[in-house]
Structure 1
C-alpha cells in the first residue's frame, strides 16, 4: 500500500503542530497500532523532547502576539519536521522514495504553516483575546484527530487534509488586509522601542 496519503497528511499536520505529529505517530508505533511508523519516531530520545516542546507550544500558541513569535521561530522547523517525518515513513514502507516523500511532506508543511501563521496575524489584529485560545484548541484537536484518522484511513484523511489546506489558503487571501495591519503594528512597536532606547524613555502604551 502506498504511504503517500499518510506522508501528505502528516506534512499538513506538521505545519500546524509538528511536535504533536511526532508524539502521535510515535505512540501508534510503540503500541503496535500501526506498522507504518518507523522505529526512529518511537525512541524515547525523540518522544521526550517532542513532548516537552509540545507543552511549550500548547502554552505559547494561546497567547496573543507570543503565538506569532513562536510561529516565526518555527518557519523552518515545521517544514523540516514534515520533510523528516515524510522521509522516515517512506523509508519504512519502501513504496515511495525518501527524497520524494521528504519534498511532499516539507512543502505541504510549509503551506499549512503559512496558513496557520497568517491566520494568527489576522486574529492578533482583533481586540478579542479569546480568539487565540479557541483557534489553538481547534488546531490541536484537528491535528490529533486527523493524524489518528490517517493511521487507519490514510486516503480519506489525505482528502480532508487537502481540503483544509485549500480552504486555509483561500481564507489567507481574504485575510490579507488584517495580516498587513498586524505587520504594520509590529513594525510600529519595534520603531517605538528603538526610539525609546535612544532617548531612555519608555515607549507609549
Structure 2
C-alpha cells in the first residue's frame, strides 16, 4: 500500500509540475523552491536544485516581471509567444527530475509526457489570452492572469497534499482541453483573417471567396449540393468563414438548389 501511495504521489507531482509550468513556469519553480527550502516539501534529490537561493532569486525576479507583463493586453500575447520556447522544455525537464532516482528510460518517459502536458497547457493559456485581447477593456486580462497564478499555487498544493484529488481534476482538465482547444484555434484563425483583411493582406483569399461565390449556382445543382455544403463546412471549420458568413453562404446554396430543382 505504501508503494502504491508513493507511486500516486510521484505521478501527481510530475503532472502537477508539468501542468503548472504551462501556466506560469516561474511561479511553479518558486513554489517548489521555497517549499523545499523551508522543509514543507520533500523534493527528490534530482529536483533539489530549485531550492538553491540563486534559483529562487532568479525565479522570483522573473515572476515579478511576468506578474506585470501578463496583465497588459497585447504584451501578454507577446510574452506567451516568447515563452513557447521556455516553458515547454523547462516543464519537460522539471517533470523528468520529479521521478527521483530511477532508470534513464523512466526519466525520459516522464520528460516526454511532462513536456506534452506543458505544451497543451501553454497552448490553452496563450490561445485564451489572444481571444481575451479582442476585448478593449483590460479587466479581463487582469482576472485571467490572477486566476492563473492562484491556480498554479493552489494546484501544486493539492498535487502535493491530495494527489488522488489532483489527478482526478487533472483528467477532467485534459478532457476539457480536448473539447476546448479546437474551438479556440478556430477563433484565432478568424482573428488572423480579420487582421489580414484590415491590413489588405488577404486579397487572394477574398478573390478566392468571390470566385467561390460566382460558382455557387453551379455547385447548387442537385448532384453537387452535398459537395457544396461539405466545402462550405470545411471553410467554416478551418476559420476561413465566420459563423455569419457560413450561415449566409449555406442559405444561398440551398436557395439556389431549391430554385434549380423547381425549374
Task: Pick the TM interval, shorter chain.
Answer: 0.7 to 0.9
What's 2:219 paired with? none
Does residue 149 of structure 1 match 2:153?
no
Q: Which has the larger radius of gyration?
A: 2
Q: TM-score, normalised by structure 1?
A: 0.84
Deviation at 1:128, TM superposition (A): 3.2
Q: CA deviation at 1:149?
A: 1.2
Shift of 1:189: 8.2
Mean Cα displacement is larger for which, 156-165 or 59-68?
156-165
Indicate whether 1:180 and 2:200 are aligned: no
Of the three residues 1, 15, 18, the one matched with 2:22 is 15
Instruction: State the shift of 1:168 in Å.
Output: 3.5
1:127 maps onto 2:127 in alignment: no
**TM-score of the superposed pair, with normalisation by structure 2:** 0.66
Structure 1 CA distance for aligned equivalents of residues 194 and 66 of structure 2: 24
Match of 2:180 in 1: 171
Cα distance, 1:186–1:113 mapped onto 2, change above 3 Å: farther
Are 1:60 and 2:69 counterparts? Answer: yes
CA distance in 2, matches of 1:187, 1:147: 41
Equivalent residue for 1:31, pick from 21, 38, 43: 38
Paired residues of 1:7 and 1:104 also in contact (CA < 8 A): no
SS at match of 2:67: helix
What is the match of residue 50 of structure 1? 59
- Within 2, Cα distance between the matches of 1:189 and 1:47? 45
Taking CA–CA contacts closer than 8 Å with sequence separation of 6 or more, which of the two structures ends up with the larger relative contact order? 1
Q: Distance in 1 between matches of 2:150 and 2:27?
A: 10
Q: CA RMSD in A?
A: 2.3
**Residue 65 and residue 48 in structure 1: after superposition, are their counterparts in 2 closer, same or farther (change >3 A)?**
same
- Structure 1 residue 187: deviation in Å? 5.7
Q: Which moved more, 1:174-183 or 1:32-41?
A: 174-183
Distance 1:111 1:126, change over 3 A: same
Alignment size in residue pairs = 191
What stretches of structure 1 of length at least 5 have no aligned partner? 193-205
CA 1:8–1:182 in structure 2 vs 1: closer, same or farther (change >3 Å)?
Answer: same
CA contact (8 A) 2:21 2:118 kept: yes
Looking at structure 1, the residues matched to 188 and 112 of structure 2 have their Cα atoms a distance apart, in angstroms, of 28
Q: Is 1:115 the equivalent of 2:148?
A: no
Retained in 1: the 8 A contact 2:71–2:138?
A: no
Q: Is the 8 A contact 1:26 1:41 kept in 2?
A: yes
Residues 4, 101 of structure 1: 8 Å contact kept: no
The change in CA–CA distance for 1:41 and 1:66 in structure 2 (over 3 A counts) is same
TM-superposed deviation, 1:129: 2.3
